[in-house]
Amino acid sequence: MQKLFAKITSAILSFVMLVMPWANVPKATVDKDSFKTTYTNVFVHGLGGWGAYDIYYDMFPYWGVRGGDLMKYLNARGFNCAAASVNEGASAWDRACELYAQLTGTRVDYGKEHSERCHHRRYGQSYVGRPLIKRFSATDKINLLGHSFGGATVLMFLQLMHAGSEAERAATPENELSDFFKGGKGDWVHAVVALAAPMNGTTAYSVRDEIREDPNATAEERAVVAVLSQLSPLRDGRIEDDSAMYDMYIDNAMEMCEGFETLPDVYYFSLPCSKVVQNEDGTWSPKEDEMEPLFRAASKRIGSYTGVTPKGYVIDERWQKNDGLVNTISATAPFNAPKTDFDRTKDTPAPGVWNVMPDFDGDHMSLEGGLLVTTNIRPLYVDMLTMLNRCA
């Protein structure tokens, strides 16, 4: 979805950034004396997104958007940050494999068993000689921050780092097996931050299917169908199960998360978003002037949607609060994982449990900086990375 925005606005972006700069935004202060760690922070974009390996990132940064490159801003303040570039519509598995290759400076290996079962090539792009970060090991740990489907990506990545893949070990000769699938490296990750991430799936695709069947759907709603239908499909012969869209359906997302362990020495944080107001009947409607126009029609539908998934999970009123694309409840933590409410201004985070921060007052793009509705996210990330550096 974000890449669609990039294509639409690329012709006018340079002018917009000149006439609407963030030059007068006060600089956030950094309390480096309180730091216990200084690990590298790796940011992973969501569905339809892009990162530092993509040629248009410098012109139109995913992290910062109209506000300018967030990575440069944070690096200038002493935080070591990098923006990964993973496939815009691929499954969490494939994106995790790409992330590993970028972090280790190796060639992407999607796995022998996985690639054969999913009907696509086994090897991808090579990052030999051009790794995303300088060091990555048990002593040179990283913090992973994943926005939207980037949240599911970093959870898949951490699980494979920790446990590897039994299926890949069984199917692959030892001399061909990627170190990624061997496991034993969960301690290379210090912290995970899920930003507006549909960890338990989203009803956006259920809403899309509902709109398709509704003869009274508005033009704005049908535009939602068109966008969501174009975002994720990969036309390279792979099976439909091997895509981000498949992974974001509620049944599939919850099944995937059931296989993810919550590691006792890793710090977990989540920041859900919401930009809706509750109606008298209990449903939710978007704050029209404060939400990106593209999300408003979907938000209205999500805000009143209830139903039952194909596998029998009941989607009730708890799922109606949303950020325009992701249900707020889904962005708290995997439902099978331990969690606790967490206020980063006063609470001490604990490892091995999801520290769920209060809802951020913003739509799904707000944590990137927004496009037509802008948000100054710089102080937020300075505070967040400072918090991560205080965890030890």
| CATH for 115 | 3.40.50.1820
The model's confidence at residue 7, banded by pLDDT at 50, 70 and 90, is very low
What pLDDT is attached to residue 10?
Answer: 39
Cα–Cα distance, 287 to 277 (Å, whole number): 6
pLDDT tens-place string over residues 275-310:
999 999 999 999 989 999 989 999 999 999 999 999
Q: What's residue 22's pLDDT?
A: 41
Q: Supply the pLDDT for residue 226.
A: 78
Is residue 335 scored above 70 in pLDDT? yes
Q: Which tops the pLDDT comparison, 30 or 181?
A: 181
Average pLDDT (31-47) is 92
Does the structure show a pLDDT above 80 at 123? yes
- Mean pLDDT to the nearest integer, 336-346: 94
One-letter-per-residue 3-state SS of the chain: CHHHHHHHHHHHHHHHHHHCCCCCCCCCCCCHHHCCCCCEEEEECCCCCCCCCCCCCCCCCCCCHHHCCHHHHHHHCCCCEEECCCCCCCCHHHHHHHHHHHHHCCEEECCHHHHHHHCCCCEEEECCCCCCCCCCCCCCCEEEEEECHHHHHHHHHHHHHHHCCHHHHHHCCHHHCCHHHCCCCHHHEEEEEEECCCCCCCCHHHHHHHHHCCCCCCHHHHHHHHHHHHHCCCCCCCCCCCCHHHHHCHHHHHHHHHCCCCCCCCEEEEECEECEEECCCCCEEECHHHCCHHHHHHHHHHCCCCEECCCCCEECHHHCCECCCCEHHHHCCCCCCCEEECCCCCCCCCECCEEECCCEECCCCCCCCCCCCCCCCHHHHHHHHHHHHHCC
Beta-strand relationship, 107-109 and 142-147:
unpaired
Cβ-based neighbour number of residue 124 at 10 Å: 18
Which is nearest to 196 in space by CA: 243, 155, 158, 149? Answer: 149
Q: Which residues contact 361 (CB under 8 A, 6 or more apart)?
A: 273, 274, 275
pLDDT digits (tens, 9 = 90+) for 97-111: 999 999 999 999 999
Report which of 198, 152, 196 is spatially closest to residue 369, judged by C-alpha positions. 196
Q: Which residues contact 84 (CB under 8 A, 6 or more apart)?
A: 42, 43, 44, 45, 51, 52, 53, 98, 99, 102, 103, 132
Give percent above pLDDT 70 in the chain.
Answer: 91
> How many independent structural domains does the chain possess?
1
> Please, what is the average pLDDT of the chain?
91
Residue with the larger pLDDT of the pair 264 and 34 = 264
Q: How high is the pLDDT of residue 30? A: 79
Amino acid at 169: R
The average pLDDT across 49-63 equals 94
Domain assignment of residue 311, given as a range: 2-390
Kindly tell me if the per-residue pLDDT of 4 is higher than 60: no
Statement: residue 15 has pLDDT above 80? no
- pLDDT exceeds 90 at position 45: yes
Q: Over 50: is that where the pLDDT of 65 sits? A: yes
Residue (of 285, 314, 315) closest to 299 by Cα position: 285
Instruction: Name residue, tokens 């300075």.
Output: 382
Whole-model pTM: value is 0.92
Q: What is the mean pLDDT of residues 246-274?
A: 97
User: What end-to-end distance do the CA atoms of the chain give, in Å?
Assistant: 36
- Residue 225 has a pLDDT of 78
